[in-house]
Amino acid sequence: MPFALHSRSNTKLRTPRRGVTLLELIVALALLALMAALVAPAMIAPARRTSDVATVIRSGRSAAIARAQPLVLRFSEGGEWSLRPLPPHDADALATGLVTTPEGAFSLQLSPFGGCLPLAALPPSLGAWDVASCTSTQARAAVRGAGGGA
């Protein structure tokens, strides 16, 4: 008889539950929100308040690297600039702004690998252009002079 009673108690075991609990769902959503908060700043394009050509170029280069996508940075004669993806996705600008000391109209293609290729002749005020470092020779000379570097 004890055996028969024991077998009846086994029939009352719980069946495995399906789905997730509310707590598990909240924890998963919190982890996703944390990951999004860490990644979002890297996806932001240059700020509109940027007022220096070299700073805009560095910020655009960083945006191209962070987005892992080639971008085009265009400067107009009046100092307006815009950062856009390559065609056919160039309808909306990722960022726009105004530089206080315009160098003239020119365009750069910013590589996701960190290079900056001029798309047309650069203004003489920029001097020679180094594609790998994404700087003009005059900008590098100014940095060396100010920092007393090599």
> What radius of gyration do the chain's Cα atoms show?
28
Specify the pLDDT at position 149: 47
pTM over 0.85: no
Residue type, 103: E
One-letter-per-residue 3-state SS of 58-120? HHHHHHHHHHCCCEEEEECCCCEEEEEECCCCCCCCCEEEECCCCCCCEEEEECCCCCEEECC
Residue 129 has pLDDT above 80, yes or no: no
Asked whether residue 26 carries a pLDDT value surpassing 90, the answer given is yes
pLDDT classification of 150: cutoffs 50, 70, 90: very low
Residues 6+ apart with CB under 8 A from 5: none
Measure the CA–CA gap between 54 and 102, rounded to whole angstroms: 11
